[in-house]
Structure 1
Amino acid sequence: MFEISAVARVKRFAANTAGRDFAVGDIHGHFTRLQAALDAARFTPSVDRLFSVGDLIDRGPECRAALDWLDKPWFHAVCGNHDDYVVHFDTCAVDSWIFNGGLWFTHLSLPEQKTFAATFAELPIAIEVETAQGLIGIVHADCPFPSWAQLRNELQSPKSSQRLMQVQNRCLWSRSRLEQQETQGVVGLRALVVGHSPIPVPVRLGNVIHIDTAGWRPAEGYFTLLNLETLEPAP
């Protein structure tokens, strides 16, 4: 019998009956810009919720703020590929990570690094959000299966640690749907919301909505806040 982590790889949230739910694309250490986008959308922390497609850190100047944001009761994130670097900071390909914006992490003390790793290890691979119109799924990059039920089963009851790693890597890294313009979608969801691949405007392929509009690139990008009830970006 192989060992698996007790971390919940799929988290489900009941419908928000008091306020609005939004999803946001990759943040990459630009939390001040994210807060400005929330302010523009009149986000109300007491009733609204914000779901992140992951990649909270690297590239931007405010990576340390990720821990403060994860403490907010209305902010919920899945694990992105950059976040996964943090989880495995002592075994990952460090040169590749630093090349892709991870230098900030090397400036932390070892206790700080371990705190980040422990916190990020608790991030789920997938989030489910109930809405009046149907179930919304959130992963960082893609669902590697034609149905959401299959992904949920693979994450919650993996056949082996190797299989689990393969599935998680596809969820964190895959760009094939966008590159191939695959419109088949994911059965069992009203919509799947993903990030990972920077694009000028949100792109919908079947019921999969790509929302990484590069808010972490101040000169050219912006944060998309997708209303999970209407599936339209906040104005």
Structure 2
Amino acid sequence: MNSAKPAIRRAVLPANRHGRDFVVGDLHGCYGPLEQALTAVEFDTARDRLISVGDLVDRGPESLRCLALLDEPWFHAVLGNHEAAMLAHAGDGLQGGTPQAARLHMAVGGEWLDACWPWAENAPLQQLMRRAAGLPHLLRVGDEAVDYHVVHAQLPVNLLGRRWTDKRLEDAWTELDPTVLVWSRSLFTRKPLIQRAWQKGLSPVFCGHTPGKEVRIRQSHVCLDTGLVYGWTGEWNESAITLAEPGAGGVQYHRFELRPKTWVGTGASR
């Protein structure tokens, strides 16, 4: 039995010295609210960058259009658990994965992928799948002085041992388990008694994966999943798409509330 840990992928982006960076939470196929939110903040594709915490696909109405953002030079993303489920469903060579993988993806909103069949004859989908398969698990943004990190779920939490710092991440990122980075929810589901907002020595770690009504900050992790897709479906009365704008003075949050299937409602920045 092969128990080897999956290989981790990391990417590094230099600081954006010509425009602004925006980090966005889980999109889940909701392209319309994203488009309206970017218009509201006057996003400039020639200067600004949009960085996603992953989960571009599933549940919402435009998964393929959100996945196609991977072709844009101003767009960057890390691997989310829904991309992982999508790739497992598609299988090697887009010939189909195991029945178990197909059932798992369909259960979490992957029906849209079947509408693209036959996958192996769909050249645009092939290109997007290749891009998705190469997405990093961990993204560091900044030059010598780290500005921030991006991961889908969280860094490993070890309450009794060493905690992650910028330096430790730089020196020992290969020790990370990709499964934790993509799938774990422990940081945002445990009681907050042991979860301070900021952790000494660790720059902001923007993440998503665990939906909530507001942005949450624990141990330098900033969870930006504010339930976008649940606002579109009408399952939540309070739901939003949130863009975080890191800057020299801290992080500004642009929150745009959702109305069921009518996209963006009111917006506010703070």
- TM-score bracket relative to the smaller structure: 0.7 to 0.9
2:218 corresponds in structure 1 to 205
1:136-178 CA distance string (max 9 Å, x none):
011000001521555566654x6xxxxx7xx111111111111
Q: Does 1:45 align with 2:38?
A: no
Change over 3 Å in CA distance of 1:62–1:37 after alignment to 2: same
1:233 to 238, 253, 263: 253
SS at 2:212 equivalent: coil
Letter of the 1:173 partner, please give it: W
Could you report, residue by residue, the CA deviation over 1:44-92 in whole angstroms, capped at 9, with x for unpaired residues?
1111111100000000111111342111111100000000112222146
- Alpha-carbon RMSD across the aligned residues, in angstroms, is 2.6
Residue 10 of structure 1 contacts residue 152 of structure 1 at CA under 8 Å; is this kept in 2? no
Do 1:134 and 1:189's aligned partners in 2 also have CA atoms closer than 8 Å? no
Q: Retained in 1: the 8 A contact 2:197–2:217?
A: no
1:179 matched to 2:189? The reply is yes
| Percent of aligned pairs sharing the same letter | 31
Aligned length: 224
Q: Contact 1:135 / 1:189 at 8 angstroms: preserved in 2?
A: no
Counterpart-to-counterpart distance in 1, 2:115 and 2:101? 17
The structure where strand makes up a greater share of residues is: 2
The alpha-carbon deviation at position 130 of structure 1 amounts to 1.3
Alignment of 1:70-81 (within 5 A): 70-81=70-81
For residue 46 of structure 2, give the secondary structure of its aligned residue in structure 1. Answer: coil
2:110 maps to what in 1? 102
Query: Is the contact made by 2:27 and 2:66 (CA closer than 8 Å) also made in structure 1?
Result: no
Name the CA distance, whole Å, in 1 between partners of 2:41 and 2:152.
Answer: 23
**2:164 alignment partner, one of 136, 147, 152:** 147
1:93 counterpart = 2:93: no
Conservation of the 8 A alpha-carbon contact between 1:86 and 1:120:
no
Q: Which residue of 1 aligns with 2:266?
A: none
User: Following the alignment from structure 1 to structure 2, what is the Cα–Cα distance between the partners of residues 187 and 106?
Assistant: 46
| Native 8 Å contact 2:153 2:208 kept in 1 | yes
Q: What displacement does 1:99 show? A: 1.2
Distance in 2 between the 1:168 and 1:3 partners? 8
Q: Is the 8 A contact 2:151 2:181 kept in 1?
A: yes
For normalisation by structure 1, the TM-score amounts to: 0.85
Closer/same/farther in 2, CA of residues 152 and 104 from structure 1, 3 Å limit: farther
The answer to whether structure 1 residue 16 and structure 2 residue 16 are counterparts is: yes
**Residues 153, 62 of structure 1: CA spacing in aligned structure 2 closer, same or farther, 3 A cutoff?**
farther
Q: Following the alignment from structure 1 to structure 2, what is the Cα–Cα distance between the partners of residues 3 and 210?
A: 26
For 1:96, the aligned partner's letter is: L
TM-score relative to the length of structure 2:
0.75
Between 1:145-154 and 1:71-80, the stretch displaced more is 145-154
Gaps (5+ residues) in structure 1?
159-163
Could you tell me which amino acid in structure 1 is paired with residue 184 of structure 2? S
For structure 2, the residue ranges without an aligned partner over 5 or more in a row are 90-96, 158-162, 255-268
Select which of 144, 150, 153 maps to 1:138. Answer: 150
- How far apart in 2 are the matches of 1:44 and 1:31? 17
2:204 equivalent in structure 1 = 191
